[in-house]
């Protein structure tokens, strides 16, 4: 059994088409070992797992920023069975999921300006993944997602030095007067 993922990024106009065999578990995210490399500050190194159990493929959310299947948010570590044609949403990404059996033609891609197909080789023996503790999260509909910007270390240091300089100037002005 093979999985076909049509990945569309909100920052790119073209979609990428990934086709790979699924034997046990495949992890999507920012990690260099990911079968489908995703970028973005809201994407975790291990964001979403696709797991084969019998003849069924399941999606498991491993992230803090969320994954939506057909508009419904998954709880962290929640396992949901996928069907061919399901839509997966990750922050800044829309993924169309299809199951392909041997000899079956690829699913048709929606209209797009450019498309590239990538054949992914997934090793049969995957390293064990870190098990995260299960935490309950409230379901948030996709329309309520908010962007949050985290500061880099350089921005934090610049802010601290600026505040220190302002404090020293105020203290000096107080001593002079």
In this predicted model, what pLDDT tens digit does every residue of 44-68 receive, in sequence order?
999 999 998 888 899 999 998 899 9
Identify the band that residue 155 occupies on the pLDDT scale cut at 50, 70 and 90: confident
Does residue 99 fall inside a structural domain?
yes
Identify the band that residue 11 occupies on the pLDDT scale cut at 50, 70 and 90: confident
| Residue showing tokens 């003849």 | 55
Position 111 pLDDT exceeds 50: no
Q: What is the pLDDT of residue 144?
A: 52
- Which contiguous run of DSSP H or E holds residue 162? helix 153-176
Pick the closest to residue 123 from 2, 23, 6 (CA basis): 23
The domain in which residue 86 lies consists of: 2-138
Does residue 152 fall inside a structural domain?
no
Total of domains in the chain:
1
Q: Is the pTM for the entire model greater than 0.75?
A: no
- The whole-chain average pLDDT of the chain stands at 78
Q: What is the pLDDT of residue 40?
A: 87
Pick the closest to residue 77 from 59, 91, 55, 93 (CA basis): 59
Position 113 pLDDT exceeds 50: no
Does residue 36 fall inside a structural domain?
yes
Q: Can you give the CATH number for the domain in which 7 is found?
A: 2.60.200.20
């Amino acid at each position: 059994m093979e999985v076909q993922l049509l990945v569309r990024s909100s920052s790119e106009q073209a979609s990428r088409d990934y086709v790979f065999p699924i034997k046990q578990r495949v992890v999507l995210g920012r990690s260099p070992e990911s079968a489908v490399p995703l970028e973005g500050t809201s994407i975790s190194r291990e964001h979403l797992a696709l797991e084969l159990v019998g003849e069924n493929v399941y999606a498991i959310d491993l992230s803090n920023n969320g994954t939506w299947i057909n508009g419904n948010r998954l709880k962290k570590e929640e396992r949901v069975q996928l069907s061919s044609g399901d839509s997966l949403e990750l922050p800044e990404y829309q993924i169309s999921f299809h199951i392909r059996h041997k000899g079956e033609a690829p699913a048709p891609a929606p209209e797009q300006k450019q498309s590239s197909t990538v054949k992914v080789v997934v090793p049969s023996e995957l390293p064990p993944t870190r098990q995260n503790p299960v935490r309950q999260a409230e379901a948030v509909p996709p329309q309520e997602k908010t962007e949050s910007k985290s500061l880099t270390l350089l921005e934090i240091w610049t802010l601290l030095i600026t505040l220190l300089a302002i404090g020293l100037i105020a203290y000096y002005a107080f001593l002079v007067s």
